[in-house]
Amino acid sequence: MAPAALRVAGRRLSQHCRAGAPVLLRQMFEPTSCTYTYLLGDRETREAVLIDPVLETAPRDVQLVKELGLRLLYAVNTHCHADHITGSGLLRSLLPGCQSVISRLSGAQADLHIEDGQSIHFGRFALETRASPGHTPGCVTFVLNDHSMAFTGDALLIRGCGRTDFQQGCAKTLYHSVHEKIFTLPGDCLIYPAHDYHGLTVSTVEEERTLNPRLTLSCEEFVKVMENLNLPKPHQIDIAVPANMRCGVQTLPS
């Protein structure tokens, strides 16, 4: 049975979001891995979640959480990252009560495992989990309850997508994930990726549906492109993946 905090959405998600009460959102950047970390909070209840934290910037995230008077419930990962160690483990130590979350299909350890269709609740808001495998088998996209924004991890980047040549990636699977789980969202839904390498911060579903140079191709053409990217191996993969399979747990200095 799903944990009580992670309830399968059984009614229209937008009912959780009160009109005139936008979610608190902060986008933060880690330059070495070009990773975006997202802090979302309910201004009324002060409950919050953090998406894709990075080990090195976890103290920064903790400071912001405290400055804004928030209570961090969950440190959530969109997938088992290969280019950095997650900050989930350290955040659990620095902010008692915070729980780590990742997809069950990732095979990684965490306090809570999520499945497609489940929702992570914080105050009056919720993040719907949409399985979006292809970059890795355990990739998920988190969609805010009013469908105004989606946190796509490495499945969909701005004018690009995550690579599929390691960690059991599959280009065909990724293509169908994006088209069926992300491109079916409203066109004005904001897209917030896990990374950007060109200084871009946000896109929309409609922009990516019509302008993404890879995902506007046919599936067959997309697979050919992905098979011929010839990208170098991520610098931290041999360290990051084993650590992230253990939730990035770190021993705090004495």
Specify the pTM: 0.90
For residue 175, what are the contacts with CB-CB under 8 A and spacing of at least 6?
A: 134, 215, 219, 222, 223
The tokens for 226 are 């992905």
Residue with tokens 């950095």: 84
> What pLDDT is attached to residue 233?
83
Q: How far is CA 99 from CA 5, 90, 96, in A?
A: 11, 11, 8
Element (DSSP H or E) covering residue 15 = none
Whole-angstrom distance, CA of residue 174 vs CA of residue 28: 26
> What pLDDT is attached to residue 107?
93
What b/e readout covers 59-91, taking b as 16+ CB neighbours within 10 angstroms? eebbebbeeeebbbbbbbbbbbbbbbbbbbbbb
Name all domains of the chain by residue range, CATH numbers in brackets. Answer: 24-229 (3.60.15.10)
The SS3 of residue 222 is: helix
pLDDT per residue, tens digit, the chain (254 aa), is 344 445 433 333 333 444 456 999 999 999 999 999 999 999 999 999 999 999 999 999 999 999 999 999 999 999 999 989 999 999 999 999 999 999 999 999 999 999 999 999 999 999 999 999 999 999 999 999 999 999 999 999 999 999 999 999 999 999 999 999 999 999 999 999 999 999 999 999 999 999 999 999 999 999 999 999 998 888 889 999 999 898 776 544 44
DSSP 143-159: EETTSSEEEEETTSBTT
> What pLDDT is attached to residue 79?
95
What b/e readout covers 226-241, taking b as 16+ CB neighbours within 10 angstroms? beeeeeeebebeeebb
> What pLDDT is attached to residue 183?
98
